[in-house]
Amino acid sequence: MGRTRSSSPTISEVAAAAGVGRATAARTLGGYGYVSDEMRERVLASAEALGYRANQLARSVSTGVSHTIGVVVADISNPFFGGVVRGVSEIASARGFDALVISTYEHFEDEIAAMNVLVDKRVDGIILSSAACDPASTAHLQLARERGIPLVLLDRLIPGIELDAVVIDNRTAARTATGELIAAGHARIGFVWGPPTPARPSFRRDLVDAAARNLWSDGERLMGYLDALDDSGLPLDPDLVAVGEKTEAHTYDEVMRMLALADPPTAFFCTETDALTGTLHALRDSGVAIPSQASVIGFDDSSWAAVMEPPLTMVEQPMLDLGRRAAELLLGRIDGDGDGEEAPTQLELPARLIQRASVAPPR
Amino acid sequence: MGRTRSSSPTISEVAAAAGVGRATAARTLGGYGYVSDEMRERVLASAEALGYRANQLARSVSTGVSHTIGVVVADISNPFFGGVVRGVSEIASARGFDALVISTYEHFEDEIAAMNVLVDKRVDGIILSSAACDPASTAHLQLARERGIPLVLLDRLIPGIELDAVVIDNRTAARTATGELIAAGHARIGFVWGPPTPARPSFRRDLVDAAARNLWSDGERLMGYLDALDDSGLPLDPDLVAVGEKTEAHTYDEVMRMLALADPPTAFFCTETDALTGTLHALRDSGVAIPSQASVIGFDDSSWAAVMEPPLTMVEQPMLDLGRRAAELLLGRIDGDGDGEEAPTQLELPARLIQRASVAPPR
DNA sequence: CTGTTAGCGCATTCAA
DNA sequence: TTGAATGCGCTAACAG
């Protein structure tokens, strides 16, 4: 039975101490219903004296509202998600909601487990950055919907699934960044990384297929890269697309490979922080100067990028806004009392290219 | 009254469907007590059919255990805390606990609010990186203790308060880093930043006092800086200690000020990321080359530091371990069923100096 | 082993 | 207005 922690006074105790009925104490403490000023004073006084604090869990069981939202991201230690969660928390806490945050490290099983935990803990809504990229594997999302828990997708869409979502316009961002390189005169641009492909793709079709089978955002960035190439009538050289694991070490190897090509790239577009640092390491170890011998554009601006030598041109993602908008959308659904399956809202926020000094014409 | 979300089947419904008593269903679904295999099968079958999922909130109200821990940090978007929270989550989730994380942005009132929320939501334990530096302002910590909720301090101690805690050995780390600079031949070393002081301190005593009145970790780092100076019999020049806000912009101003001194510093020790980037910007804008004209050591290593030109010598904090150890300590207290006020455990993890290429003899 | 019966702490209906 | 009584979903003595 309910263990006796170091006891927390209950409503009954306060009522007793105040010499009033349970309900009266509950009403004043809960802030609802009618209570005479006199009774209220009495109750408040003894509540104060006893150090009463409402048990939100009990309240939730009774009301069906927990004032807690779940946030499941790939990795909270990744600055991108850190920013996103900050944005979510900002607006959620302003409205009295707290966040239960869970990292999945891109493991699909962990994502399923996370969804279950959140549903079981009866959160009022869930913000999810899913690792799923297959409309078939969405039973866990189904669960939340069935239970009437609003869900909004964050940063990553799941192709074929219509749900509320807030994402970045990855494709346009990649197209713009690649276009910037092309405008500077580059024709051979390394793409680090596109979505990991099983083996080195030989044809454009293989790449596009791979993109569709991977994380939505990665796929979009690859498509944007291809768009830019098309825009200028430039050919796609599969050798210039990195494949494999998403680690700094592997990225390093891929860039070294590209650098050893007969006709190596004269510019690199890196779609994530690890890809960027891996590329920078490879460039340095190869004695390739930036931007005189190779131009570079990275993704996910950070204060570090501006103090690099040279300052790096970067694509900046509005992480905070991404989180804020997702939270606003979710909270709207929550009090929207929405049984009515209203049409999904999908917001696409723009990413911004911050031009600094790592892009120059090829020599 | 309990709204009828999109209905979640309850134990009673499962029991009814299975044609057994409530308790029997509860026992098999709750995994306790005796149940015959036959009954169990029946119950499990209808639970499966109905898509039953235990309501953890109700369970918590009944058992007094929520399997949730609270984590309050200064700012989840700060990579340091992101790493810490990851460490905490790793070991917590492995033991079935989820984390409710709240950022305070160093606002004391927010810290108090956060503690209240966590207590009210009946978390089983709390990990706190407090902004308090005064043993007098600890009523909110008192609350948790009274309610029997284990609390472990993270990254920051509160002078005069004896509580479980896991921190970094900031003083030694700062002493080592400063010592590294001294060993290279520097005698005038800028400290960016020490704890913010009301006005520019004139004497050592003023600085030490200021240190005691500020965030514990900042104070410790200043003391480490002073220790190193003492170790080598070097004098303290208050002009070489940055004061004021903790922002990149302000840090920039302070470094510019130092650079304009008649006898400017030949090296800088920056105790936080913003301080480091601010310093780097100031150095660049002043045309001061690293390390030929000024040596630099920063705090909080990141993958960026290694790709800087030159690669930066940094103090690395074991963020993950900090979080892991704190979580282990907390979970230990939680199942330690500890009413018994056992002696507080205070762990001090070592920080590591990563030598790269931003330190050289003064010219 | 099983079902009945109480709680847990709070919300809420309803008669007084 | 107030208080008694019931319910939320689950745990857990207790008797059979």
Strand C: which of residues 43-82 in chain B lie with Cβ below 7 A?
58, 61-62
B269 in a structural domain: yes
Chain D positions with any atom < 7 A from a protein CB: 1-5, 7-13
Look-up of token digits 């203790």: B145
Q: How far is CA A59 from CA A63, A143, B43, B185, in A?
A: 6, 24, 29, 65
Distance of C1' in C11 from CA in A60, Å: 10
Pick the closest to residue A184 from A24, A355, A349 (CA basis).
A355
For residue B338, pLDDT beyond 70: no
What is residue A206's predicted lDDT score, i.e. its pLDDT?
Answer: 85
> Which residues, other chains included, contact B328 with Cβ-Cβ below 8 Å and sequence gap of 6+?
B91
Residue found under tokens 């790096």: A312
CA distances from A117 to A163, B68, B98, B250, B280 (A): 21, 11, 8, 44, 45
- Domain total in chain B: 3
Most confident of A141-150, A264-273, A329-338: A264-273
Q: Which whole number is the average pLDDT over A103-110?
A: 95
Distances (CA, A) of A10 to A1, A22, A47, A58, A59: 16, 10, 9, 11, 12
**What are residue A270's DSSP bridge partners?**
A192
Q: Is the same domain home to A44 and A139?
A: no
What residues of A are in contact with residue B56 (Cβ under 8 Å)? 120-122
* Mean predicted lDDT score pLDDT of chain B: 93
**Residue A234 in domain:** yes
Is there a single domain that holds both residue B255 and residue B116? no
For residue A100, report the phi and psi dihedrals to the nearest 5 degrees. -100, 110
User: Residue B222: which pLDDT band, with cuts at 50, 70 and 90?
Assistant: very high
- Cβ separation B2–A64 shorter than 8 A: yes
Q: CB < 7 Å to strand D — which of 126-185 in chain B?
A: none
Determine the distance between B2 (CA) and D7 (C1') in angstroms.
8
One domain, residues B217 and B201: yes
Mutation for B interface: A63, A111, A304, A334, most B CBs within 10 A = A304
Indicate if B86 and B202 belong to the same structural domain. no
CATH number at residue A72: 3.40.50.2300
Query: Does the pLDDT at position A152 exceed 70?
Result: yes
| CA-based nearest residue in chain B for residue A147 | B6
Task: Answer yes or no: do B310 and B326 share one domain.
Answer: no
Same-domain check for residues A225 and A326: no
State residue B295 phi and psi, 5-degree precision: -95, 155
Question: pLDDT value at position A341?
Answer: 67
Q: Which residue has the higher pLDDT, A332 or A363?
A: A332
* B8, B75, B306 ranked by CB distance to A147: nearest: B8
A310 and A197 co-located in one domain: yes
Q: How many residues belong to chain A?
A: 363
Q: Does residue A361 fall inside a structural domain?
A: no
pLDDT of residue A338: 57
Whether the predicted pLDDT of B350 surpasses 80 = yes
Position A1 scores a pLDDT of 35
Which DSSP category does B55 fall into?
Answer: -
Q: Which of B199-213, B216-230, B282-296 has the lowest mean pLDDT?
A: B199-213
Taking C1' of C10 and every protein CA, the nearest residue is: A59
Chain A nearest-CA residue for B339: A6
pLDDT of residue B341: 67
CA A325-A326-A327 angle, to 5 degrees, is 90
A159 strand C contact, CB < 7 Å = no
Query: Which residue would you say has higher pLDDT here, A196 or B209?
Result: B209
Task: Count Cβ atoms below 10 Å from residue A276 Cβ, excluding itself.
Answer: 29
Domain annotation covers residue A360: no
B43, B12 Cβ separation under 8 angstroms:
no
Residue A347 has pLDDT above 90, yes or no: yes
Confidence of residue B45 (pLDDT cuts 50, 70, 90): very high
Q: How far is the CA of B33 from the C1' of C1 (A)?
A: 9
Q: Is the pLDDT of residue A339 over 60?
A: no
Q: What is the 3-state secondary structure (H, E, C) of chain A?
A: CCCCCCCCCCHHHHHHHHCCCHHHHHHHHHCCCCCCHHHHHHHHHHHHHHCCCCCHHHHHHHHCCCCEEEEEECCCCCHHHHHHHHHHHHHHHHCCCEEEEEECCCCHHHHHHHHHHHHHCCCCEEEECCCCCCCCCCHHHHHHHHCCCCEEEECCCCCCCCCEEEEECHHHHHHHHHHHHHHCCCCCEEEECCCCCCCCCCCHHHHHHHHHCCCHHHHHHHHHHHHHHHHCCCCCCHHHECCCCCCHHHHHHHHHHHHCCCCCCCEEEECCHHHHHHHHHHHHHCCCCCCCCCEEEEECCCHHHHCCCCCCEEEECCHHHHHHHHHHHHHHHHHCCCCCCCCCCEEEECCEEECCCCCCCCC
Whether CB of B34 is under 7 Å from strand C: the answer is yes
Query: Over 60: is that where the pLDDT of B232 sits?
Result: yes
| % of chain A residues with pLDDT over 90 | 81
Query: Amino acid identity of A130?
Result: S
**Could you identify the residue whose CA is nearest to the C1' atom of nucleotide C3?**
B21
Do residue B244 and residue B325 come from a single domain? no
What pLDDT, on the 0 to 100 scale, is given for residue A340?
A: 55
Chain B residue with CA closest to A334: the answer is B5
Identify which of B77, B143, B148 has the shortest CB distance to residue A83: B77
Q: How large is the average pLDDT for residues A80-94?
A: 98
Q: Does residue A140 surpass a pLDDT of 80?
A: yes
Nearest-CA neighbor of A124 among A142, A102, A99, A143?
A99
Q: Which residues, in sequence order, are CB contacts of B122 under 8 Å at separation 6+?
A: A55, A56, A57, B60, B64, B66
Which residue among A82, A99, A273 places its CB closest to the CB of B82?
A: A82
Say whether B148 and A339 touch across the interface (CB within 8 A): no
How distant is C1' of D4 from CA of A38, in Å? 21
Are the beta carbons of A307 and B277 separated by less than 8 Å? yes
B5 has a pLDDT exceeding 50: no
The answer to whether position B359 is within a domain reads no
Nearest CB neighbour to A61, from listed B7, B58, B306: B58
Q: Is A101–B103 a contact, with Cβ atoms under 8 angstroms apart? A: no
Domain shared by B294 and B234, yes or no? yes
Q: Which residue has the higher pLDDT, B214 or A128?
A: A128
Q: Indicate whether B174 and B314 sit together in one domain.
A: yes
Q: What is the mean pLDDT of residues B32-49?
A: 91
CB of A34 nearer than 7 A to strand D:
yes
Residue whose pair of structure tokens reads 């828990």 in the numeric block: A149
Instruction: Give me B21's structure tokens.
Output: 């008593």
- In this structure, is residue A61 part of a structural domain? no
Minimal Cα–Cα distance from A189 to chain B, Å? 21
A32 touches strand D (CB under 7 A): no
- What pLDDT is attached to residue B135? 81
pLDDT at A2: 34
Asked if residue B39 keeps its beta carbon closer than 7 A to nucleic acid strand D, the reply is no
Q: Please tell me the predicted confidence (pLDDT) of residue B198.
A: 65
Beta carbons of A100 and B98 less than 8 Å apart = yes
**What confidence score (pLDDT) does residue A131 get?**
87
Lowest mean pLDDT among A17-31, A69-83, A106-120, A274-288: A17-31
Please give the share of chain B, as a percent, with pLDDT higher than 90.
81
**Identity of the residue in B55, B75, B76 whose CB atom sits nearest the CB atom of A122:** B55
Q: Is residue B84 part of a domain?
A: yes
Non-local (6+) Cβ contacts of A221 within 8 A are: A170, A171, A173, A174, A194, A271, A299
Question: DSSP assignment, residue B147?
Answer: T
Q: Find chain A residues with C-beta within 8 A of B148's C-beta.
A: 5-7
Identify whether residues B158 and B297 lie together within a single domain: no
Which residues in chain A are closer than 8 Å to B277, comparing Cβ atoms?
303-304, 306-307
Task: Check CB contact under 8 Å for B2 and A63.
Answer: yes
The token pair that represents A88 in the structure block: 């979510």
Same domain for B243 and B158: no
pLDDT for residue A199 is more than 80: no
pTM comes to 0.95
B34 pLDDT band (50/70/90 cuts)?
confident
**pLDDT, tens digit, 9 for 90 and up, residues A119-132:** 999 999 999 999 88
Average pLDDT, stretch A297-319?
97
pLDDT in tens, A320-337: 999 999 999 999 999 886
* pLDDT at residue B196 is higher than 80: no
Domain housing B231: 170-318
Q: What is the pLDDT of residue B206?
A: 85
| Position B50 pLDDT exceeds 60 | yes
Residue type (1 letter), A299: F
B59 part of a folded domain: no
